[in-house]
Structure 1
Amino acid sequence: MAKGVAKKVKDPNAPKRALTAYFIWLQENREAIKKPGMTATQVAKAAGAAWRELTDKTKWEKKAEDDKKRYDREIAAYKAH
């Protein structure tokens, strides 16, 4: 970290950020992708390759859109206080 640059403190009461379609998909598919002995990096690379090969992502894009709306509502309420 550069000298004189203070780290921004995250408010623990702030709402969680919205997940992207990829991360929602990954939560649902991580166990199917993961094989015994794989490192986190190997799982991430395999997941990225599987995501790129996926042709119909609308299910997860819809969930990501809904999560974005949830986050927008929660952050508006959070900032109002």
Structure 2
Amino acid sequence: MGNPPRPRKRVDAEATPTLKRAKDGSAFSRCESCNKDVPVVLIDMHSCTLDATIKMKFESQIEERPAVSKNPLERKKKTVSSEKKESKRKRSSKERDPNMPKRPPTAFFVFMDEFRKKYKEENPEDAKSVAKVAKEGGEKWKSMTTEEKKQYIDKAAELKAEYEKAMEKYSSEKPTEKEDEAVDSSNEE
């Protein structure tokens, strides 16, 4: 005694030869400008803007991944080894200048350096567990007031000021690419 099902509105496939149907019976028409299948119901709202065409071209350039094997053990082995190889490649491509100053630690890390020493003295049996020391240090840092944290914040600010001075010195001593090219071209002559 509910409402009887309403009949579906359908577009005649014979009336429009460019019409395609999905498994559920919905009708799609191909847009001539962007060559994309668009639902007939939404054809009035479809716009082939520059963004849409750029997005389509970008999507077409993306490579699809190879088919995944059905055996879950093989899948895990392949993904883990391939991820490790990719991460090693990425690390090796980033070459760091050995003369470049190291970034200063934050206030929390200044605190953790001090906390680790105290914790190892007080709890020599737990000192080997890095996770336990880090967890205790994090809990202690959260429980501290801003006044207690102030000494570490000040120390971090001093280290940051030293780092900025070192970076200024480093960037002024480091020759720019243009100067390198000029030196190279004068040496060739």
TM-score interval w.r.t. the shorter chain? 0.7 to 0.9
Question: Residue in 1 aligned with 2:160?
Answer: 68
TM-score by length of 1: 0.84
Q: Which residue of 1 aligns with 2:110?
A: 24
Q: Count the aligned residue pairs.
A: 81
Q: Which structure 2 segments of 5+ residues have no match?
A: 1-85, 174-189
1:1-81 matched pairs, under 5 angstroms: 1=86, 5=90, 7-34=93-120, 35-38=123-126, 39-55=129-145, 56-81=148-173
Over aligned residue pairs, what C-alpha RMSD do you find? 1.9
Query: Comparing both structures, which one devotes a greater share of its residues to strand?
Result: 2
State which structure, 1 or 2, has the greater radius of gyration over its C-alpha atoms. Answer: 2
**Gaps in structure 1 of 5+ consecutive residues:** none
Identity across the alignment (%) = 32
Structure with the higher helix share, 1 or 2: 1
Shift of 1:36: 2.7
Once superposed, which parts of structure 1, at least 4 consecutive aligned residues long, lie more than 4 Å away? Answer: none
Deviations 1:16-70 (A, max 9, x none): 2111111111112212223233311111111111111111211110111111111
Higher relative contact order (CA 8 A, sep 6+): 1
